[in-house]
C-alpha cells in the first residue's frame, strides 16, 4: 500500500509540473529559482521576494508530514493539508503546489473554486463522488464521476467543484494545483459569511429564499466557526 501511495503521489506531482510548464498561470521564472523570503518594508509584489541565492539551502525546497492523516472532526468531515509556497518557499515562481485531502465517511470538500489554478486529483483510498460545474455561458453543466483508488480527475481553473466520500471507510486523495498559491473560495462561506455580511435581502432574491432563512444561514457562517481551510 505504501508503495502504491508513493507512486500515485509522484504521478500527481509529475502531471501538475507538466501542466504548469506547458500552460502556467503564474508568471514564468526568469532564474533557476526564487526562494521566497518575507520582507517587512510594506511593498507588495505578485508573488514573494527572493532570497539571495547564496543563502538558499535544501530545506527551502522541502517539507514533510503528508503521511499523516488530517483531522476530519469538523462540520464538513474533511481536512485539507496544503503544501504551497507558505510551506515550501522554493515553490515561489514555479507555478505548482500540492494538497492532501482526508475524508471521513460522508465527509465532503464542499463546493469551492481555485481562482488561480487548475487542479488534478488522484484518489489513493476510498470512494469519492467528484464533479465541477461550468460557467453560465456553458449553461452550468455538471461533470461528475465516481472515483476509486488510482483514478484521476481534473478540475479546470476557476470552476466550482467538490468531492464527497460516498464510501463506508475513510478516503484519502492527493491533488496537484497549477499555482504556487492557488487560493480557495468556499462558496457557502464566501456568500453567507463575508465580512461585512451581504445584505440578506440581496441573497434572498438571488437564491429565491425567505429573508429569515438567509439571516439564519448568515448567523451560521458569519461566526467563521470551524472553517474548512
Binding site members for Mn(2+): 112, 114, 119, 161
Helical H segments across 23-74, by residue range: none
Cis bond upstream, residue 27 (ω within 30): no
Annotated binding site: 109, 112, 114, 119, 161
Cα–Cα distance measured from residue 77 to residue 221, given in angstroms and rounded to the nearest whole number: 16
What residue has cell string 451581504?
A: 198
Backbone φ and ψ of 2, nearest 5°? -65, -35
Distances (CA, A) of 2 to 25, 39, 120: 32, 40, 21
Cis bond upstream, residue 196 (ω within 30): yes
Annotated binding site for oxalate: 109, 114, 119
Amino acid at each position: 500500500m505504501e508503495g502504491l501511495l508513493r507512486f500515485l503521489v509522484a504521478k500527481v506531482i509529475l502531471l501538475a509540473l507538466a501542466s504548469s510548464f506547458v500552460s502556467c498561470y503564474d508568471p514564468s521564472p526568469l532564474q533557476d529559482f526564487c526562494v521566497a523570503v518575507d520582507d517587512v518594508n510594506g511593498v507588495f509584489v505578485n508573488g514573494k521576494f527572493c532570497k539571495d541565492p547564496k543563502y538558499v539551502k535544501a530545506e527551502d525546497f522541502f517539507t514533510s508530514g503528508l503521511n499523516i492523516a488530517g483531522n476530519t472532526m469538523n462540520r464538513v468531515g474533511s481536512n485539507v493539508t496544503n503544501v504551497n509556497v507558505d510551506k515550501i518557499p522554493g515553490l515561489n515562481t514555479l507555478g505548482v503546489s500540492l494538497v492532501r485531502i482526508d475524508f471521513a465517511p460522508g465527509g465532503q470538500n464542499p463546493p469551492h473554486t481555485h481562482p488561480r489554478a487548475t487542479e488534478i486529483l488522484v484518489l489513493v483510498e476510498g470512494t469519492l463522488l467528484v464533479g465541477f460545474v461550468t460557467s453560465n455561458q456553458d449553461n452550468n453543466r455538471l461533470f461528475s464521476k465516481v472515483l476509486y483508488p488510482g483514478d484521476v480527475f481534473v478540475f479546470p481553473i476557476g470552476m466550482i467543484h467538490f468531492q464527497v466520500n460516498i464510501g463506508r471507510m475513510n478516503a484519502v486523495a492527493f491533488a496537484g494545483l497549477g499555482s504556487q498559491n492557488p487560493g480557495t473560495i468556499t462558496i457557502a462561506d464566501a456568500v453567507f459569511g463575508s465580512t461585512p455580511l451581504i445584505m440578506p435581502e440581496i441573497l434572498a432574491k438571488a437564491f429565491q429564499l425567505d429573508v429569515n432563512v438567509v439571516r439564519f444561514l448568515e448567523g451560521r457562517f458569519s461566526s467563521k466557526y470551524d472553517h474548512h481551510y
